[in-house]
């Protein structure tokens, strides 16, 4: 493991500890019929009456940290063979990976919310809009099914674009085929 990978591992552990030390909480109010509404991020070891950890959003945060760390690990990886050690993928593939990582960050920074008054038990609830996660969201609840769909589609599309820009592999040819090709080239040069 090189120095870059060690640094990446340190960032991964630091991000994971930060996410786990300040998990997202929902406020459960008797006035709202025990409907949890997103309340913010609180220290995990503190006392928070009428607040519960939003496990769905916490799971998404952990998934995004893992995916971004895997992307960083792949971007820092060098191939052992070849004339020039290349960082993972070609230029377009690296741009796709960086774009996916940035989009995952913004998806969690501006998640979908719905007003607590319009909460239904439908498979795909309606949502009010995308709001800044650190803003005043006391009257809103996270719409985790929509957030899961956003993250899944982003990862699927990123993977498909990465495959689309993948370099074509050169076919390996046998020594006999190489000799025959060299004879044809020499023959065409002498004519």
The pLDDT value given to residue 85: 44
Which residues make beta-bridge pairs with 32? none
Q: Which SS3 state, helix, strand or coil, does residue 36 take? A: strand
* H-state helical runs in 39-165: 55-76, 91-109, 144-164
Poorest-pLDDT segment among 86-90, 92-96, 130-134: 86-90
Tell which residue, 110, 104, 144, has the closest CA to residue 124. 144
Q: Who wins on pLDDT, 65 or 138?
A: 65
Asked whether the beta carbons of 24 and 42 are under 8 A apart, the reply is: no
Q: How confident is the model at residue 138 (pLDDT cuts 50, 70, 90)?
A: confident
| Beta strand pairing call for 112-115 and 140-142 | antiparallel
Domain range summary for the chain, segments of one domain joined by +: 3-190
Task: For 67-77, write each residue's pLDDT tens digit.
Answer: 888 877 777 76
Asked whether the beta carbons of 78 and 86 are under 8 A apart, the reply is: yes
Residues 6+ apart with CB under 8 A from 128: 112, 113, 114, 115, 118, 140
The pLDDT value given to residue 83: 46
pLDDT at 122 over 60: no
Q: How confident is the model at residue 17 (pLDDT cuts 50, 70, 90)?
A: very high
Q: Which SS3 state, helix, strand or coil, does residue 168 take? A: coil
Q: How confident is the model at residue 22 (pLDDT cuts 50, 70, 90)?
A: very high
């Amino acid at each position: 493991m090189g120095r870059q990978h060690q640094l990446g591992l340190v960032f991964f552990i630091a991000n994971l500890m930060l996410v786990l030390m300040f998990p997202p909480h929902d406020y459960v109010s008797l006035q709202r019929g025990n409907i949890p509404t997103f309340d913010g991020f609180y220290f995990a070891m503190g006392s928070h009456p009428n607040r519960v950890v939003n496990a769905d959003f916490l799971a998404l945060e952990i998934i995004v940290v893992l995916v971004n760390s895997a992307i960083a690990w792949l971007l820092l990886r060098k191939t052992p063979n070849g004339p020039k050690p290349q960082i993972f993928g070609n230029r377009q593939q690296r741009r796709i990976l960086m774009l996916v990582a940035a989009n995952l960050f913004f998806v969690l920074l501006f998640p979908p919310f719905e007003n607590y008054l319009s909460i239904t038990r439908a498979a795909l609830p309606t949502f009010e809009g995308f709001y800044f996660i650190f803003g005043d969201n006391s009257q809103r609840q996270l719409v985790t099914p929509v957030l899961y769909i956003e993250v899944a589609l982003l990862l699927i599309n990123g993977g498909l674009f990465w495959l689309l820009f993948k370099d074509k592999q050169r076919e390996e040819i046998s020594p006999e085929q190489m000799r025959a090709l060299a004879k044809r080239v020499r023959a065409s040069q002498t004519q």
